[in-house]
Amino acid sequence: MTSTALDSLVDGTAMLAALAAGDVSAEELTRAHLDRIAGPGAAVNALVAVDADGAVAAARALDADRAAGRPLGPLAGLPITVKDSVDALGLPSSHGRALDRRVATADAPAVRRLREAGCVVLGKTNVPVWLASMHSENELFGATLNPWDPTRSSGGSSGGSSAAVAAGLGVADLGSDLSGSLRVPAAWCGLFGHRPSNGAVSKLGNLPWPDGGLLEPMVSAIGPFARSAADTAAFSEVLFGAEGIEAVGWQLRLPPPRVTSLTGLRVGVWLTDPVAPVDPEVATAIRGFADALAGAGAHVAELADPPVGGADDLALYLRLQSAEIVHGFDADDLAAADDRYHQSVWAALRDLEAQRAATARWAEVFTGVDVVLCPAVSRVATTYTSAMTAPETVVVDGREVPIDSVCDWARLSSLGRLPATVVPLGPGRVSGLPVGAQLLGPYLEDRTPLAVACLAEQAGLVAFTRPPI
């Protein structure tokens, strides 16, 4: 299979159709992706480990099952990559530092579900140290580049994942998201993505939490990147469900989407917050999308009184974030940590109660709207320094701010544990780089923002654009 032929299959949905029609085999798809990883795709430095032999063997087994008429999973034959911090049996896992790198003895539940659905795992993708940067670079593997501009970040902490999917090195990947680690890379690389409601997808088997840990994170989530809304919805459906000891008695019954058409869809637009500035380029693109939704029959209005926002809520989320991170610390890490991590342990229960209160306030908002449209990140992709490291500050709306603050929109919108579907809005008018937005849905109504993204895609309002590199 040639690179040109692979390019004609823009997403997993098209590849599944070609597989079903017999136009291509799983092995051909897998080999074509491996060739791209080893060839032109190497330039973005997204992959940190490749399992070519294992991937080809898995693809051949799927082809044999198809030929024999045996049952196949809903994603059978699709080659994917996996974020380095997420365990995949037999492959190394890390959070960007050699000290903790190890070979996984089991699949994380999310990876196991994707394999059971028929996905072929090609390898692992790059992350920053401790998954704690908007730039995916580390001393082990170097810097991952944005396929749109090699001087810029592909995001973090799932920047290797987003670069791989945008560059066509895999059909999809997983992004873990504590403070925008899925949504920022998706926006900066022009991808679709879904950050699920907390608890809808198991995040067990993810570094930097302890190897073999049994606690599900209370603040972060894990979900898919893809090049279409249809793919994102299909991968999400495979990932949803209870895992671990809870799965003995618990079942996840997500309700159907609230809407089946853009006509009558109720959209709240949230574009301003006193502590989270937005670049005009991003705001203009989001307002353009809101206008397009209105033109398609949606009822669009400003979110007059957002239930979260401002310095107090941002500080609350930062404490929740710190409380989750500290669980992965060893004694040396804890000794070296600053006071906010130590303080977060004592305040954790109080803050979790406040997080639940935020979920309840959002529930009131969603009695009047079906989705809330807001920024996924405050600006387009930032540049690396000349040393290919993350800069300390960047400019947002004419102001120089700490780089970590660009993901404050992701933090604020996560306070209610809401599902968030990222949609690409095309290249910005000023930078020519991808701009992304997120569609927030009611807690545990993940299928609603996913459905809105699919409807917008079908109407031609959002779409993946192939990077120029």
User: Which backbone phi and psi does 51 adopt, to 5 degrees?
Assistant: -115, 70
181 is catalytic: yes
Active-site position among 83, 124, 154, 405: 83
322 is catalytic: no
Active-site position among 25, 157, 176, 228: 157
104: buried, middle or exposed (CB in 10 Å: 19+, 13-18, 0-12)? buried
Q: How far apart are CA 307 and CA 71, in angstroms?
A: 47
Residue partners of 467: CB distance under 8 A and separation at least 6: 146, 147, 148, 166, 167, 189, 190
Active-site position among 93, 136, 176, 181: 181
157 is catalytic: yes
Kindly list the catalytic residues: 83, 157, 181
